[in-house]
Amino acid sequence: MSELQRTAEDLDAADPLAAVRGRFVLDDVTYLDGNSLGALPAHVPGRVEDVVRRQWGELRIRSWEESGWWTAPERIGDRIAPLVGAAAGQVVVGDSTSVNVFKALVAAVRMAQEDGRGGGAGPVRDEILVDATTFPSDGYIAESAARMTGCALRPVAPAEVPGALGERTAAVLLNHVDYRTGRLHDLPALTAAVHAAGAYAVWDLCHSAGALPVGLDEHGVDLAVGCTYKYLNGGPGSPAYLYVRRDLQPRFDSPLPGWNSHAEPFGMRSEYAPASGAVRGRVGTPDILSLLALEAALDVWDEEGVSVAAVRAKSLALTDFFLRCVEEYVPDGRVESVTPAAHAERGSQVALRCSPTLGSARVGGAPIAGEVMKRLIERGVVGDYRAPDVLRFGFTPLYVGFADVERAARVLGRTVAG
């Protein structure tokens, strides 16, 4: 047994979250792709079976009231709220991340433009800044929102946002953690800069919620969105969520007003009147099966000792140990970390760029990184690949252990060594 293997054993033995691993369906594969799809909590299938067989199969339409289907989007939102640092009544669950980005961004621009009209001689807010390194869908949505609201769209690197803000800026769409590199951006400072310019901040939390503290209320974030199938383990395609800060809720003007967000949803009125509170973020009939699977998955956060702070502490320890193991096991010059070393700038993943010194630009007809990840998966280490040359490894502290980390780095070293 190597020194690093012994260290991993000691770290696992001292891990206060180690017991939570048993709450998940796992096998002998080292699963480091929870930043794409979280593992299945073991109790979820039984809960979903109850939803299908009893609530749907026996109670049928009565379940909208008797089983609480109708209020599920807000009820589950209140369970997610503490995981992103929000008080109850500000998060609603439903739709996809992309749909919620659209709702939030258009609403933010409308509020900014309303501010200008209310001030009489205020600036014309006709510009949206978007994270230039964002996940493609966010960029597509931002472009569409800009066309819809008559705004110009400016892609800007997050670090350059403070200098790019101006009196014409209406809204800024940013990612808390970069999906490709795992870089954690400074949410408090960037939000403050956006507010100082008189604009509204919209944050995408897909790669941070459930992995690290967010502090939406503490830092005065206006609007935020996120998915639930990564670190929240809600299942493939599980519904996303939308945060609307409490004082902004009366002004939240959704571009997708549906009957579920109407003040009288069963009044069937031809005129739209928005409901009060976070309910304004709803659109159509909620996806009950996925919603209730997510609700069951969130039970893991009720376990003794499970908290965002504990998860963050373990996340940093896991990623530190992985980088140490990579340095030890991987031959020099074969990979390079593009994830910041500083804890304050690191999410819960490590991204490694494959070096051209591995050989030709392509191996076996595939890009180097893609071929390396394929071989890793064949050898029982599951991460993922992002073009053109990045290997991503996600660390979900609720079920990833230090032995997993050591094994992944050891297999990676053997794989890139040839």
Q: Is 181 helix (H, G, I), strand (E, B) or coil?
A: coil
| 348 φ/ψ angles, rounded to the nearest 5 degrees | -115, 35
Q: Which among 202, 199, 225 is positioned nearest to 114, based on CA atoms?
A: 199
Q: Which of 103, 125, 230, 280 is catalytic?
A: 230
Q: Which of 154, 314, 392, 410 is catalytic?
A: 392
Rounded Cα distance between 112 and 107, Å, is: 9
Helices (H), 62-135: 63-66, 72-80, 97-118
Rounded Cα distance between 229 and 105, Å, is: 22
Query: Token pair 């299945």 is at which residue?
Result: 40
Query: Token pair 């394929």 is at which residue?
Result: 374
| CA dihedral for 284, 287, 292, 298, sign (positive or negative) | negative
Q: Which of 31, 135, 179, 399 is catalytic?
A: 135
Rounded Cα distance between 373 and 364, Å, is: 13
204 included as an active-site residue = yes
Q: Which of 178, 204, 287, 404 is catalytic?
A: 204
| 178 φ/ψ angles, rounded to the nearest 5 degrees | -65, 125
* Burial state string for 128-140 with b = 16 or more CB within 10 A and e = fewer than 16: bbbbebbbeebbe
Rounded Cα distance between 290 and 294, Å, is: 6
Q: Which long-range contacts (CB under 8 A, 24 or more apart) does 277-280 make?
A: 277/74, 277/89, 277/249, 278/74, 278/77, 278/89, 278/90, 278/91, 278/92, 278/242, 278/243, 278/244, 278/249, 279/73, 279/74, 279/92, 280/244, 280/249, 280/252, 280/254
Q: Which among 94, 125, 408 is positioned nearest to 254, based on CA atoms?
A: 94
CA distances to 193, 282, 397 from 124, in Å: 19, 29, 46
135 included as an active-site residue = yes
Q: Which of 31, 102, 200, 229 is catalytic?
A: 229
Q: Which among 394, 399, 398 is positioned nearest to 383, based on CA atoms?
A: 394
Rounded Cα distance between 50 and 39, Å, is: 21
| 208 φ/ψ angles, rounded to the nearest 5 degrees | -130, -35
230 included as an active-site residue = yes
Tokens of 37: 């799809």
Residue 389, C-beta contacts closer than 8 angstroms, at least 6 positions apart: 353, 354, 367, 368, 369
Q: Which residues are catalytic?
A: 135, 204, 229-230, 392
